[in-house]
Amino acid sequence: MRLIVRVCGPLSGRVRAPGDKSISHRAAMLAAIAEGTSRIEGFLACDDCLRTAEALRHLGVTVEQAGVGTLEVHGEGLDALREPDAPLDMGNSGTGMRLLMGLAAGRPMTVTFTGDESLTGRPMDRIAEPLERMGARVEGRGERCTPPVTVHGGDLGGITYAPPMASAQVKSAVLLAGLSAAGETTVVEVARSRDHTERMLAAMGADISVEGLRVTLRPGRALRATSMSIPADLSSAAFLLAAGLLVEGSDVQAADALLNPTRTGLLEALEAMGAKIGLGGRRDVAGEPVGTVRAQPGALRAAEFGGDLIPRMIDEVPLLAVIATQAEGTTVIRDAAELRVKESDRLAAMAEVLGAMGADVREREDGLEITGPIPLSGTTIDARGDHRVAMSAAVAGLVARGETVIEGAECIRTSYPTFVADLRTLGADCIEESDDD
């Protein structure tokens, strides 16, 4: 499928992005090992999250669709998980695979995980290493333990683990394994990463404490089933907000957006660039802060971003690069080498995409340098199977001369199935075409 985007007039409106992807994954998993029935409203029905739900079914959990965007998960506790009859196909979902590896490691069973071409090229060694220290056996391909990866679980002991990078996926996998371990499990982060797992575990009755960058889980308490509503995904809403910042005369509002401080790094970066960002309607939903974010165009100035800010906007860095092309001066993004092992090498991909559109962009070992403002020109882009590259290119296409064609845009469905519809609701000129058209 290709997405065709053309420069457009002002964008205007209020849109609620789909449910948060990270929280949807975790809600389904924790409900699966809780005792009782959990109702999850606002569950993101994208391919990645649906793969997690299907994997849980293969692990013996009853997961039912109870309406549009609503799941009912009938949990019977950790002990009820059973060994699946076949490998679990996680598609393109790195989050689903890594977190479920942690869950499987604690149970006396063997589980093999596989995925699509992109996922089977992504390293799982950062998950395998702490799980093996806890007592599991993990087998994968090559030095980086790429999928298919097999976890032989059971008889774990708690550990204190300090990951070399700030990673919510590593932290979450270790904590999920720790639910079945003998003794407490502690994760000490180098920088703060998203904390949805800790929040949800606490809300469901786990014995967990957080002190600064140190998270400690003490096993033994059964998780309580609960009903929850998933906030709108700020990482998805960010694309709509960026369009509102870049298209002259626009006024875009993202409703019910997740405002967890471990996820608002992009908003802080945009404020540093002088962007017109407003926040209103703050409240709590399912233990998470949410609100309405408003974006309007204005003069943008370059800035330098790195350090502790990067983990809190890691998924939005490709989009930040697009915004930087329209800022005055040279924007430097550093400490983002983690982006080289996502669905694509996102640093190389964005350097190539923006370069092809006429931007002044230079690739660094751990980031990018972008000098602006500079007019962009439409061209044909290969999405590289990466939803965030595809959506970032679409935002760039809204302010580029001519027509921007994004080939392989079906990958957008892995995280934001209604992306094109939401852009069109705001007034964007974009259409989807199938390969048969």
B/e letters for 159-175, b = 16+ CB within 10 Å, e = fewer, are bebebeebbbbbbbbbb
Quick one: which of 248, 98, 86, 224 has its CA closest to 168?
Answer: 98
Amino acid at 51: R
- Collapsing DSSP to helix, strand or coil, 268 comes out as helix
> Contact 87/147 with Cβ under 8 angstroms?
no
Q: Of 20, 256, 315, 422, which one is the catalytic site residue? A: 315
Strand partners for 251 = 12
Residue 323 is which amino acid? I
Q: How far apart are CA 342 and CA 122, in angstroms?
A: 7
Q: What is the DSSP letter of 121?
A: G
Taking the C-alpha atoms of 312, 350, 371 and 263 in order, what is their torsion angle to the nearest 10 degrees?
-10
Distances (CA, A) of 21 to 28, 92, 177, 236: 11, 13, 21, 9
What does DSSP assign to residue 412?
A: G
Please identify which residue in the block is written with the tokens 């679990």: 88
Asked if 422 is an active-site residue, the reply is no
DSSP state, residue 259 = -
Which positions are annotated as active-site residues?
315
